[in-house]
Amino acid sequence: MKANARGVVLDVGCASRWAEQALPPSCTYIGIDYPSTGTTLYEARPTVFANAERLPFGDETADTVLLSEVLEHLRNPQSALQEIRRVLKPDGRVLITLPFLYPIHDAPYDFQRYTSFGLQREVEAAGMRVIGVRRTLGALRTGAVLACLALGGVAQRSLLERSPSVLLLPLLGALIALINLAAWILGPLLPDWPALTLGYRLEAARNG
C-alpha cells in the first residue's frame, strides 16, 4: 500500500481509518463509510459518510482508491466499481483486498466471494485494467486458518449454549495450537497449491 498509493487517496469503507497510518505523508487522505453499517458495525470515523455506489466526488478527482475487505459487503459491487472508475484520474489506481475462503462475517451484510478470475472480470467490466493479482496466503496456512476458525467457532457456540461439550475446550485449544505450529513449520517446506487461498490483493488502473 505504501509503495502504490499516491496523491488524493479515497478509502472506501474506511472503518477506523487504519489504512491512513500506512500511507506516505505526501498523500491526502479521505475516509468514506456507509452511514448505517459504519456506525453500527465498524465504529467508523470517516471524513464523510456516503454510499460506495454514489460517491460524492466529481469526475477524475482521486489518484488512488482503496477498497479493503469491502467488496464482499456491497449489494451491487459492479455499480461501486464503476463509481470508482469515474472518480479516478486518468491512470489512477484502485487497490483492492477481499476474502475468498472465509466465514460469513458482519451478517447480514456479507453478499459474495470472488475467485481471482471473477474479480478480474468485475474490474475489467467497470472500465479498468488489472495490473496484478496476488493471493494473501498460501494453501497450507489458509487451511490452518480455516481449521482454527472452525474450532474456535464451535468452542464459542459451546460456551454460549452452555453445552456439555465445554468439557472438550482444552482439547480444542490444544488442536488449534498444534494446527498453527504444523502450518508454520510445514508451510515453507512444502510446494504451494495455488487453488487455495484466504483472499486476494488486486491492483488496477483506470483505462483512459
The pLDDT value recorded for residue 141 is 96
Handedness of CA 38, 39, 40, 41 (dihedral sign): positive
* Total-model pTM: 0.90
- pLDDT per position in the chain (208 positions), as tens? 556 889 999 999 999 999 999 999 999 999 999 987 777 777 888 999 999 999 999 999 999 999 999 999 999 999 999 999 999 999 899 999 999 999 999 999 999 999 999 999 999 999 999 999 999 999 999 999 999 999 999 999 999 998 888 899 999 999 999 999 999 999 999 999 999 999 999 999 998 7
Quote the Cα angle for 143-12-44, to 5°: 85
DSSP-derived 3-state class of residue 101: coil
Instruction: Write down the residue that cell numbers 491512470 correspond to.
Output: 91
